[in-house]
């Protein structure tokens, strides 16, 4: 009985969050034009996969899905490389004005991303990377949060380990690659997960940086596609279902790492 009482609230809250997903999936397999006036209308047959076939073969949604995955994956990889190198330098090396530069990076957290959009757009335009994969990826790879998290983690590595590696003849890059990074896997996993999710869901920058339809990512491609089917529920739900399936699968596979990352970074959502 105690187990039931303890789990009743979490299960109930989880069910409330799952209702919109179930609604989306059930409506997406209804016959187009079907009236949906009550709960039984979106649960009971008839069902059809015709709308899925039509969307998958008659729209560029799979191309947009590939773009989203490619941009998110490359952004995550480059972010981990750049932030880990920067954090290693701030944590384990000495150079003039190190603390002043670090505080400037820390101050970057207080500036909303939207406030930098216009100068960022102008810089991207001046160097000619708008409307390209490079323009989607490059502005997102140097976030200050990853540097701050990894710097704190790197500073916790015992000095004895570093000194022992130096006595064995390890250079700076070898210490970084063979000692620091393996010890920082939990932090790197947390940053990688949140970077990937943030890039996958990013709307504002791709909306400004890309004009060619073949370069659209899902967040900017879906609204243009759904606007063509504003009367019928079925096709918009098909589009949302197709775009949500990769995220749902990824969550089911990496849910432990995501939860661990949330608790590690102290971030919510």
| Domain boundary assignment for the chain | 62-232
- Provide mean pLDDT across the span 193-210: 91
Q: Give φ, ψ of 158 to 5 degrees.
A: -55, 140
- Provide mean pLDDT across the span 72-88: 94
pTM higher than 0.75 for the full model? yes
Coil, helix or strand at residue 47: strand
pLDDT of residue 269: 38
Distances (CA, A) of 234 to 184, 209, 215, 254: 46, 31, 26, 30
- Provide mean pLDDT across the span 228-254: 79
Rounded-to-integer distance, Cα 262 and Cα 269, Å? 8
> 176 or 252: whose pLDDT is higher?
176
- Provide mean pLDDT across the span 68-72: 95
Is residue 3 scored above 80 in pLDDT? no
Is residue 261 scored above 70 in pLDDT? no
Rounded-to-integer distance, Cα 191 and Cα 262, Å? 10
Per-range mean pLDDT, top range of 33-37, 61-65, 226-230: 61-65
Rounded-to-integer distance, Cα 65 and Cα 58, Å? 15
CATH superfamily for 62-232 is MetI-like (1.10.3720.10)
What value does the CA radius of gyration of the chain take, rounded to a whole number of Å? 23
> 267 or 227: whose pLDDT is higher?
227
Adjacent-strand bridge partners of 30: 47
Rounded-to-integer distance, Cα 95 and Cα 17, Å? 50
Contact 66, 59 (CB under 8 A): no
Q: What is the pLDDT of residues 203-216, one digit of tens each?
A: 999 999 999 999 99
pLDDT of residue 134: 95
Is residue 74 scored above 50 in pLDDT? yes
pLDDT of residue 268: 41
pLDDT of residue 36: 73
Closest CA to 209 of 115, 114, 120: 120
Q: What is the pLDDT of residues 10-60, one digit of tens each?
A: 778 888 888 888 888 888 888 877 777 777 777 778 888 988 998 888 889
- The reply to whether omega before 46 is within 30° of 0 (cis) is yes
What is the maximum span of the chain, computed from C-alpha positions, in angstroms?
A: 75
pLDDT-derived band at 262 (thresholds 50, 70, 90) equals low
- Provide mean pLDDT across the span 77-89: 94
pLDDT of residue 2: 64
Q: What is the pLDDT of residues 88-130, one digit of tens each?
A: 999 988 889 888 999 988 888 888 888 889 999 999 999 999 9
Contact 261, 190 (CB under 8 A): yes
| Residue the block writes with tokens 């500036």 | 111
By percentage, how much of the chain surpasses pLDDT 70?
92
Adjacent-strand bridge partners of 47: 30
DSSP assignment of 178-198 equals: IIIHHHTHHHHHHHHHHHHHH
């Amino acid at each position: 009985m105690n187990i039931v009482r303890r789990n009743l609230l979490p299960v109930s809250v989880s069910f409330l969050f799952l209702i919109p997903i179930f609604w989306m999936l059930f409506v997406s397999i209804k016959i187009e034009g079907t009236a949906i006036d009550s709960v039984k209308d979106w649960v009971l047959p008839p069902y059809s996969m015709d709308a899925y076939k039509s969307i998958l073969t008659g729209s560029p949604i799979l191309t947009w899905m590939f773009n989203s995955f490619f941009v998110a994956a490359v952004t995550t990889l480059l972010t981990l490389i750049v932030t880990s190198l920067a954090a290693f330098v701030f944590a384990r090396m000495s150079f003039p004005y190190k603390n002043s530069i670090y505080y400037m990076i820390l101050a970057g957290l207080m500036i909303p991303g939207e406030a930098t959009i216009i100068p960022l757009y102008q810089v991207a335009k001046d160097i000619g990377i708008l409307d390209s994969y490079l323009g989607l990826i490059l502005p997102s790879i140097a976030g200050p949060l990853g540097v701050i998290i990894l710097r704190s983690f790197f500073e916790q590595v015992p000095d004895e380990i570093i000194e022992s590696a130096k006595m064995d003849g390890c250079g700076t890059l070898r210490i970084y690659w063979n000692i620091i990074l393996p010890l920082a896997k939990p932090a790197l996993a947390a940053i990688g997960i949140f970077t990937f999710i943030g890039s996958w869901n990013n709307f504002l920058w791709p909306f400004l940086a890309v004009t060619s339809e073949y370069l659209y990512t899902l967040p900017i491609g879906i609204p243009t596609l759904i606007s063509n089917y504003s009367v019928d529920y079925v096709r918009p739900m098909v589009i949302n279902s197709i775009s949500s399936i990769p995220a749902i699968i990824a969550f089911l596979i990496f849910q432990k790492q995501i939860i661990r990352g949330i608790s590690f970074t102290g971030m919510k959502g």
